[in-house]
Amino acid sequence: MGVRANSRPGTRQPFTGMRRALAVGALSVLGAVTAFAAVSGPADAAASTLGAAAAQSGRYFGTAISASKLGDSQYTTIANREFNMITAENEMKIDATEPNRGQFNFTNGDRIYNWAVQNGKQVRGHTLAWHQQQPGWMQSLSGSSLRQAMIDHINGVMSHYKGKIAYWDVVNEAFDDSNGGRRDSNLQRTGNDWIEVAFRTARAADPAAKLCYNDYNIDNWSWAKTQGVYNMVRDFKSRGVPIDCVGLQSHFNSQSAYNSNYRTTISSFAALGVDVAITELDIQGGSAQTYANVTNDCLAVPRCVGITVWGVRDSDSWLGANTSPLLFDSSGNKKAAYTSVLNALNAAPPVSPSPSPSVSPSQSPSQSPSQSPSQSPSQSPSQSPSQSPSAEPGGCSATMRTVNSWPGGFQSEVTVTAGSAPVNGWTVNWTWPGGQSISSLWNGQQTVSGSNVTVRNAPYNGSISAGGSTTLGFTGNGSAATPSVTCTSP
């Protein structure tokens, strides 16, 4: 079992009093899963377990598993009954899988993987590139030698599990806790492009796996660290760097508390075109209301694909049983928080069953066409996508929708759709009705004249196949509005 030894800051400033050493449930990314079949039976029948209840809305509910506890019958009974996504706590990390350079060891990682698939569950890989839990040989390297070692490690681990892992936490905890910049680490000192190199290496190693960035204290939308990660993901998407998902670890405590803007964080990342997963959830004190809030925030965003709690019982938590952070007590009994989560999951609108439970790991959970965009508490439910004229053959059409809104600002997404012929370059136009303005735009190039806005395609998203679509997004100042949008193409 690997040793965890990185601090868990409680606020935007470094919080040095809390050291996650010897974390049985280190911080993996419990990212997102792929298509789970909905539970059979009447559409209004409440499911009796977390995994089954989550599957009704096309999501998963997972847990972290330790190989050392697979002989504990109470532990495995609860895990097998309740969860449908599994993450290895430590057994797939760098020190566990490559204890000596070029000599890989998958014994315990395979124990967890085999237990999961034999019980009909999917597995999330954690983690490939991280400044912690590096074996001694890797810690002694630097510069180009370390960079090559990182590349070799990614290739070695992903080739072993190729086609078997739905989501990989490619890079873990690479941002500083206070200023929103990169964390100083031996990997960072190999060059600022190391994260991009890791993702490109991972894509080549297993094109079917979804690739994720995972971090803690990126739950609060107002924090500098959250914005730093957001800007990196936006940059990666704009340049075609292969990133498919973001994992919010969501270790909530008195220093890093749940905030009502959590839903804004989830939907803002999702608006960039990535899946979002709550990967290592625990809540010190085990508040049933906070657990319900977190669950409902995920359910409100179609691209929030699932939730993983970091451990089965309180006694299995890296925080210690006395902090009561999980859904089952140390005796294996369901807590009030369990009931609140189950009720929230069962209240979510169901989606149609997946065609087959044996889908490729690279697929994402199916989403119902009737699922609406996530709304923040301040967003009016009456807001609807803007309407535009039907596209002429070979032309394009566009619609705008509000993703989030808050006092004095909002976030929107514009979808550009090709007609019956491919589009090679597009331009969208709209006129603000009440003094709105764009504060930040991505996936396009804007020109503004008074209240009139023109956005042209970016260099990488101008070509759209017949009937296909692409999106651009922006944050704006003023009251949320969805004016009619026109689209033209050469």
Tokens found for residue 419: 């007609």
Give the integer Cα–Cα distance in Å for 294 and 102: 41
Give the integer Cα–Cα distance in Å for 255 and 234: 28
Burial of residue 358 (number of CB atoms within 10 Å: 0-12, 13-18, 19+) = exposed
Burial of residue 369 (number of CB atoms within 10 Å: 0-12, 13-18, 19+) = exposed
Give phi and psi for 414, each to the nearest 5: -115, 125
Residue 52: closest CA among 280, 289, 357, 419: 357
Tokens found for residue 199: 């993702």
Tokens found for residue 460: 């990488």
Q: Distances from the Cα of 374 to the Cαs of 113, 137, 167, 449, 465, in angstroms?
A: 33, 46, 23, 30, 28
Determine contact, residues 145/186, Cβ cutoff 8 Å: no
Cis bond leading into 127, ω under 30°? Answer: yes
- Catalytic machinery residues: 280
Residue 242: closest CA among 216, 271, 214, 204: 204
Residue 51: closest CA among 354, 342, 349: 342
Give the integer Cα–Cα distance in Å for 288 and 273: 31
Q: How far apart are the first and last CA of the chain?
A: 59
Q: Distances from the Cα of 433 to the Cαs of 121, 339, 483, in angstroms?
A: 50, 46, 7
User: % helix / strand / coil in the chain, to the nearest 5?
Assistant: 25, 25, 50
Give the integer Cα–Cα distance in Å for 235 and 68: 40
**What one-character DSSP code corresponds to residue 303?**
T
Residue 417: closest CA among 383, 369, 465: 465
